[in-house]
Structure 1
Amino acid sequence: MKTRAITGVFFVAVMLGSVLLGDYAFTFFFLLLSLLSLDEFYRLVRTGSVKPQRQLGIALGLLVYLPVAFHFFRGTPLDFLLVVVPAAVLVFIAELYRKHENPFHNIGYTLLGVIFAVLPFSFFHALAFLPGDYRFHLPLGFMLMLWASDTGAYLFGMKFGKTRLFERHSPKKSWEGFVGGMLTSFLVSVVISYFYSELSAVEWGVMSLIIATTGTLGDLAESMLKRSLGVKDSGSLLPGHGGLLDRFDGLLLSAPLVFVYLYFILAR
């Protein structure tokens, strides 16, 4: 428990620091985080019969993250993202020469890793630049509401949880915890709306509901992945907490949807 607490405090401090230290620190940190998560994904799914193309996949992840990041960070055209097309084709070509028994499993996991572990962080990074320049309020608010949802779901689930939410993939989650997480996240959104004016109180509230709902679904999706592979944790990088994907499972589905929601509000 002590190790878990120390890791948790350090993790939160690093996350907050990456957001508050400015656009360069924020961009670099989430680039590193996305590539470490992608590498963790490849190590997680690698078995005797399935071997994703780790090095090529990481290169492909870079070619996805960097054009999107620099488009929002420095206004460079998204045309550079087209380099992903030949890189993705190269994944298929490379598999022709590997002589493995499950080539399309390897291709599928290589490409899925980029979608599952890099794209969500790209969308999260882009949140900070939606107002037109770097504003840490949006990613900070996102993280606070996500953490509030996780904490509320845990506390309400422990106290009142009786009705299983999705027992097949996560036997400990309950509907009572889910509702508690939504309520806690919404209350945090109300507090945030008093300090940050990029969004109205209603818009912050809607954002909190998206985060609480899809954050829970992202958690379930990551649990489904681990159960299908017969593992408990996605990795061991964070002592007492498991891997990066275990800590960011709530972001995997919520960040892209929150970005789409805010894009139509702020980029109009």
Structure 2
Amino acid sequence: MGRELRLRILSGIVLAAVVLAATWYGDIAFRLLAAVIALLIYYEWSTITRLPETDFRGNAFGWASTALVAALVVFRVDEFALPLLLAAVAVGIVYALALKGSGWLAGGIAYSGLTVISLAAIRGDTAHGFAAMLFIFAVVWSTDILAYFVGRAIGGPKLAPPISPGKTWSGAIGGAIAAVIAGTLVHMAFFSLNGLWVPTIALVLSVFSQAGDLFESFIKRRFGVKDSSRLIPGHGGVMDRVDGLVFACFAAFLIALGDALVSGTANTPAGVFLFGP
């Protein structure tokens, strides 16, 4: 086993242990983890898109906006986090259009801010939230692993050659099937399975997870970058590791938010809407 592979395995084990421990503990530990992930994502996004060099003022606003949204989540002022994020994104768009700032600024604020908001909302402080996060981990990780191995074994037509030449339709389908099975099994470990809602949501989140992977590949290819950073030994950057996870969480959060608005029960945790019995 080569040194690089050993380093990759070791850092992967450490990362998984930290994430799972924070998820199990919940409360401030998970909120802090979500905030750190969001801030590191904004750092990598701004570095990839060269915001510090091309738009210093806009980048300072992006840092301030992301940090404030993260702080609101950490200090449990969640009801103001999403409105502030939407306002910051709107300011970023107006700034880009009116003052010829970078168009990538608003995207970075939205991407990082929605990360901390969606992660914290799904985990919440309930047993449902813990089950929901394990469900999403199972969906995303099984999608990644099986998409890789099935794609390598079967090959076939490429999924999106201009963006990510290595990905195939066979891998995407294999990953989605694995996600449905893994997500359903995790759900059944906590609750009884009623109907097709859980397999359906697992499939939807698997599709979004793969879309997140392609989205990050597009950003890196657009700017000629191989890894989002070198923060994680053997793995590259944070965005490289959580691209699928954050997109799956975006989808889960927005589905739960829509359900809450329609049903008129906005104070119900997202985990209950998505994965309650």
Name the TM tier (shorter chain). Answer: 0.7 to 0.9
Change (3 A) 1:201 1:26: farther
Aligned-residue Cα RMSD (Å) equals: 3.1
> What is the one-letter code of the residue matched to 2:157?
T
> What is the one-letter code of the residue matched to 1:55?
A
**SS at structure 2 position matched to 1:230:** coil
Give the corresponding residue for 2:30: 26
Distance 1:198 1:24 in 2: 29
Q: Given that residues 44 and 228 in structure 2 are in contact (C-alpha distance below 8 angstroms), is that contact kept between their aligned partners in structure 1?
A: yes
Count of aligned positions: 256
> What is the one-letter code of the residue matched to 1:232?
K
Alignment pair present for 1:190 and 2:190 = no
Alignment pair present for 1:110 and 2:105 = yes
Q: Which residue of the other structure, out of 51, 65, 89, is the alignment partner of 1:60? A: 65
**SS at structure 1 position matched to 2:28:** helix
Q: Given that residues 234 and 242 in structure 1 are in contact (C-alpha distance below 8 angstroms), is that contact kept between their aligned partners in structure 2?
A: yes
Give the corresponding residue for 1:78: 79
Give the corresponding residue for 1:213: 207
Give the corresponding residue for 1:16: 20
Identity %: 26
Give the corresponding residue for 2:231: 237
**SS at structure 2 position matched to 1:250:** helix
Distance 1:3 1:241 in 2: 9
Unpaired runs of 5+ residues, structure 2, are 261-271
Distance 1:199 1:244 in 2: 34
Change (3 A) 1:186 1:49: same
Q: CA deviation at 1:134?
A: 7.0
Q: CA deviation at 1:239?
A: 1.5
Q: Given that residues 39 and 54 in structure 1 are in contact (C-alpha distance below 8 angstroms), is that contact kept between their aligned partners in structure 2?
A: no
Q: Given that residues 127 and 259 in structure 1 are in contact (C-alpha distance below 8 angstroms), is that contact kept between their aligned partners in structure 2?
A: yes
> What is the one-letter code of the residue matched to 1:46?
R
Change (3 A) 1:157 1:22: same
Matches within 5 A, 1:31-46: 31-46=35-50
Please give the TM-score of this superposition, normalised by the length of structure 1. 0.83
**SS at structure 1 position matched to 2:159:** strand
Q: Given that residues 184 and 202 in structure 2 are in contact (C-alpha distance below 8 angstroms), is that contact kept between their aligned partners in structure 1?
A: no
> What is the one-letter code of the residue matched to 1:12?
A
Q: Given that residues 193 and 201 in structure 1 are in contact (C-alpha distance below 8 angstroms), is that contact kept between their aligned partners in structure 2?
A: no
Give the corresponding residue for 1:173: 167
**SS at structure 2 position matched to 1:173:** strand
Alignment pair present for 1:256 and 2:250 = yes
Please give the TM-score of this superposition, normalised by the length of structure 2. 0.80
Give the corresponding residue for 2:267: none
Q: Which residue of the other structure, out of 122, 128, 152, is the alignment partner of 1:127? A: 122
> What is the one-letter code of the residue matched to 2:159?
L
Distance 2:252 2:241 in 1: 18
Give the corresponding residue for 2:7: 3
